A and B are shown apart, each in its own frame.
Chain A
Amino acid sequence: MDFRYTEAEQAFKNQFESWLSARVPEGFGTPEYVPPATWDGIADEYRRFQGDLFRAGYAGINFPKRYGGAEGSVIENIIVSELTGPVYFHALGGCHVISLGLTAPTLLAWGSEAQKEAFLPKTLSGEIIWGQGFSEPNAGSDLANVGTRAVKEGNEYILNGQKIWSSFSHIAEWGIVVCRTDTTVAKHKGLSYFLVDLRLPGVDIRPIRNISGDPEFNELFFEDVRVPETMRVGEEGEGWKVALTTLGHERYLGEVAMASTFFKEYQELVALAKRMPLSGRTASKDPIVRQQLAQTYIELAVMRCNGYRNMSKLARGVMPGPEGSVGKLFWSQLHQRMTEVALDILGPYHQLTGDSRHSIDHGKWVYHFLRAKGNTIEQGTSEIQKNIIGERVLGLPKDSARIAKKQ
């Protein structure tokens, strides 16, 4: 057990840090910074930043060089993820999440050679942004209940149906889409996984505003959309497996990036508490605020250690055990507690939006607070996480209602 960087790793970190400081969006890291106001502006910033990262050899650290990756070490990957996390999430709208966190590793694991060559370099360079088309009105936690049909006709599939909560499709060129190709078999065995050009005729994208008013996701309608057979990932009927491939590396890396992002929010929160008066002293001197801030720090330290623990197993070629399955459940709850602390500290000032007189930090705490409400829902709700942990990790029996439905 040793948490220090080697000299070479430290040198890599220093080098990357200094490279990064010159490439982040202008003003990023200062209290005055606000991200672009529109999603088009955010997408442009993302493409520029990701392109710079790619050309400098810092994109796709764990991807093979022949697909545009850097073939770096797990530690280098941790370093880059920690340092870029706050940039992606606070300045670039998290545009990388589906593209780099989900699509690229899925293609690497399941894609045909042609698919990898066509899509991986352009995805790592930010030229292509991917949207996600998994959930449907009747397939939320019960994802295998997907009803969007893909019917084979010659060497094409004809897609019809509706997706919902489709992240990033409003700025994406391509989407990863799970469709039903066989209605005669058990529901999770009749699915296939497709790469769909979202600019094709018959694709209709309608934005949905999230709880903060931000149109960050979409409804996605397919009406007779013709997708070439070559855009199917994996075999027909393997869609469930492809969609749920344990993307260990990216999942754990994502948690490391998230931890450093939340740490940044926490540091800003402490700075706020040190600045804001409360009952004749600064908020940071109030005993309850101190308890809340310290508890937040402690939970963040736990989250970071969870991430390191998982990554260091992967670095040794071992898949994390039970410790790997609890990360998402923990951080999603943590982020909600932390952002609620922020609003508690602000008192009635938390009501003021960025546009209001007297608003604090451009209203960003309200945004974090509201956005965090999605954390326990997206990527599998907390209830689904607990079922997975209870049944697959602890070996508890499935509940009879779910067994009966499967039969």
Chain B
Amino acid sequence: MDFTFTEEQEILRDSARRFIDKEWRAEDIKAFVDHRRSFTEEMWQKIVDLGWTAVLIPEADGGLGLTFVDLAVILEEMGRGPMPGPFISSVVLAGEAIRLAGHPHQKEAYLPKMAEGEIRGTVAWAEPGDLNGLTPVKLRVNRSDGFFVLNGTKIFVPDADAADVIVCLADTGNGTGLLLVDKDLPGVKIHPLDTMDRTTNLSEVIFGHVKLPEDRLMGKPGAADPLLKQILNRVNVAYSLDMIGGSQKVLDLGIEYAKTRVQFGQAIGSFQAIKHICAELLMGVECARSIAYYAAWAQDQDDQEASLAASAAKTFASETYREVTREVLQILGGIGFSWEHELHIYLKRAKCLGALFGDATYHRERVAQELAY
């Protein structure tokens, strides 16, 4: 039993930290949010050059064939930024969906290019009409003249406008199926949604009579459930790690302020009312780390633990991020309530990532089902 990161992983974390400190400074994220900028191809290329898009893709498919724990250290550092962009959507959602569910010719067509960062993807899962957005998948795909025909609407699709391929969950009439939809196909319409959190890019995607050759279906129809579970696990562990990086960053901001802000002749961090909040927050962040690191490891083990640990991590990390941003806002006082201070960027991201692919309530019920209450 070993709960420590390897030396290589520590080096990876270090280089990720240095890269983000240099390339994605506080003023960059502020400008990004203030001017509603989009993630740039230039920044994407820098990430590709670091090899991060290749981490999870097997060597046989042109990737590095590393583990989810290797990716974990990168995700945590990106969350500190926070670094907006289609990284998790492409690498964890689409990349893992294709790696896990794709037929050999599909993997061959997409994975090497995804490893090289030449193409990006996402997964279209949630549909309008259900508040948690995840189940059941109603978007219908029909067969006609040797083609699949897709009709319907997906919502809360992350980074759809930056994607080249959308893995769409659809009802095949024989269970849920995963379809590879190239974004430039006629009938695919993407409407970006105006969201509170400006670091996350969410869209409505409308499929209007989109014709797909039959070889665009991944896996076997009706056999997608275990795959969907794995994809749901992985994206939630990824979001958890992002949220932990963000939580630590916000806590650091709060502590720095508590040490330097003087009222009544002393640093406010000397007051137990403030000190004890900071201690509680550190507890939350460290506890979230413990379960999220374990969940990252469990993803490569393919057992029930992968689902339990992923849902536990998402529940704990999302509630921690929410608590840290709320409480640090209180420590910061008026400045924390201002647009000028960066706190609001994290506070909004906490709400957004916390709700995507299942909020805490959803994941607690998922744990209950896994444990067969």
A interface list, Cβ under 8 A from B = 1-5, 9, 75, 78, 270, 273-274, 284-285, 287, 290-291, 293-295, 297-299, 301-303, 305-306, 308-309, 311-313, 315-316, 318, 322-323, 326, 329-330, 383, 385-387, 389-391, 393-400
Q: Determine the residue in chain A with the shortest Cβ distance to B292.
A: A305
Report how far A386 CA is from B275 CA in the complex, Å: 7
Q: How many residues of B are in contact with the other chain, CB < 8 A?
A: 48
Q: How far is the CA of A308 from the CA of B298 in the complex (A)?
A: 14
- Asked if residues A397 and B267 are in contact (CB atoms below 8 Å), the reply is yes
- A-chain residues with CB within 8 Å of residue B6 when the two chains form the complex: 1
- List of A residues within 8 angstroms of B4 by Cβ: 1, 312-313, 316, 318
Name the contact of A301 in the complex, choosing from B3, B280, B312 (C-beta under 8 A): B312
Residue of A nearest to B289 (CB): A323
Most buried by B among A287, A305, A316, A397: A305
B 1-33 binary contact with A (CB < 8 Å = 1; else 0): 111111000000000000000000000000000
- Out of A311, A316, A397, which one reaches B259, CB within 8 Å? A397
Q: Decide if A301 touches B279 in the complex (CB within 8 Å).
A: no
**Of listed B5, B6, B311, residue having the most chain A CB within 10 A:** B311
Q: Is B169 an interface residue (CB 8 A)?
A: no
A362–B296 CA distance with the chains assembled, in angstroms:
41
* Contact A395–B282 (Cβ < 8 Å): no
Given A1-B69, A294-B367, A302-B291, also A390-B276 (CB < 8 A)? yes
Q: Secondary structure of the A side of the interface?
A: helix
In the complex, the 6 A-B pairs of residues with the closest C-beta atoms, listed nearest first: A390-B275, A305-B290, A312-B3, A386-B279, A396-B269, A389-B279
| Nearest B residue to A3, CB-CB | B1
CB-CB under 8 A from A298, the residues of chain B are 291, 311-312, 315-316, 364, 367
Complex alpha-carbon distance, A274 and B272, angstroms: 43
The reply to whether A290 and B365 contact each other, CB–CB distance below 8 Å, is yes
Contact A329 B2 (CB under 8 A): no
Question: Which residues of B sit under 8 angstroms from A397, Cβ to Cβ?
Answer: 259, 266-267, 269-270
Q: Which residues of B contact A (CB under 8 A)?
A: 1-6, 69, 255, 258-259, 266-267, 269-272, 274-276, 278-280, 282-283, 286-291, 293-294, 296-298, 308-309, 311-312, 315-316, 361, 364-365, 367-368, 371, 373
B252 (CB) vs chain A CBs: closest residue: A394
Q: Do A308 and B1 have beta carbons less than 8 Å apart?
A: yes
A398 touches which of B2, B270, B312, B371 (Cβ 8 Å): B270
Bound complex: CA A397 to CA B267 (Å): 7
Query: A386 contacts B276, CB within 8 Å?
Result: yes
Asked if A302 meets B290 with Cβ closer than 8 Å, knowing A3-B3, A397-B266, the reply is: yes
Which residues from A are CB-within-8-Å of B312? 297-298, 301-302
> Complex Cα distance A340/B20, Å?
44
- Do A309 and B365 form a contact, CB below 8 Å, given A385-B279, A389-B283? no
Q: Which residue of B lies closest to A297 (CB)?
A: B367
Q: Judging by beta carbons under 8 Å apart, are B278 and A390 in contact? A: yes
- Min CB distance B190 to A, Å, is 36
19 contacts between A and B (CB under 8 A): A1-B2, A1-B4, A3-B298, A5-B1, A284-B373, A298-B367, A302-B316, A305-B3, A305-B291, A305-B294, A312-B1, A329-B280, A329-B283, A385-B279, A386-B275, A386-B280, A387-B276, A395-B255, A396-B270
Distance A386 CA – B284 CA, assembled complex (angstroms): 13
List 17 other contacts, CB 8 Å, given A3-B1, A306-B287, A312-B2: A1-B4, A270-B371, A284-B373, A285-B373, A290-B368, A294-B365, A294-B371, A297-B308, A299-B316, A302-B290, A323-B290, A326-B279, A329-B280, A329-B283, A330-B283, A390-B275, A396-B267
Neighbouring B residues of A398 by C-beta, 8 Å = 270
For residue A284, give the distance in angstroms from its CB to the closest CB of chain B: 4
Q: Find chain A residues with CB under 8 A from B3 CB.
A: 1, 3, 305, 308-309, 311-313
B259 and A291 form a contact (CB under 8 A): no
With a cutoff of 8 Å between Cβ atoms, the chain A residues found around residue B255 in the complex are 394-396
The residues of B that contact A329 with a CB separation of less than 8 Å are 279-280, 283
Report the minimal beta-carbon distance from B360 to chain A, rounded to whole angstroms. Answer: 8
Please determine whether A78 and B269 come into contact, CB atoms closer than 8 angstroms. Answer: no
**A270 vs B367: C-alpha distance in the bound complex, in angstroms?**
13
Chain A residues within an 8 Å CB radius of B289: 309, 323
> Quick one: closest B residue to A400, CB to CB?
B266
Cα(A285)–Cα(B296), bound, Å: 30
Per the bound structure, the CA–CA distance linking A385 and B279 in Å amounts to 8
Expressed in whole angstroms, the minimum distance between the Cβ of A187 and any Cβ of chain B is 21
Residues of chain B contacted by A287 (CB below 8 angstroms): 365
Most buried by A among B6, B270, B286, B365: B286
Q: A184–B81 Cα gap in the complex (Å)?
A: 54
Tell me if A396 and B1 are in contact (CB < 8 A).
no
Contact across chains for B266 and A295 when beta carbons are under 8 A apart: no
Q: What B residues does A4 contact at CB under 8 A? A: 1
Q: Tell me the bound Cα distance from A298 to B312 in angstroms.
A: 5
Is the Cβ of A323 less than 8 Å from the Cβ of B286? yes
Q: Which of A3, A273, A322, A326 contacts B297 (CB 8 A)?
A: A3
Give the chain B neighbours of A311 by CB distance below 8 A.
Answer: 1, 3
Smallest Cβ distance from B293 to chain A, in angstroms?
A: 7
Complex contacts, A389 vs chain B, CB 8 Å = 278-279, 282-283
Chain A residues, CB < 8 A from B266: 397, 399-400
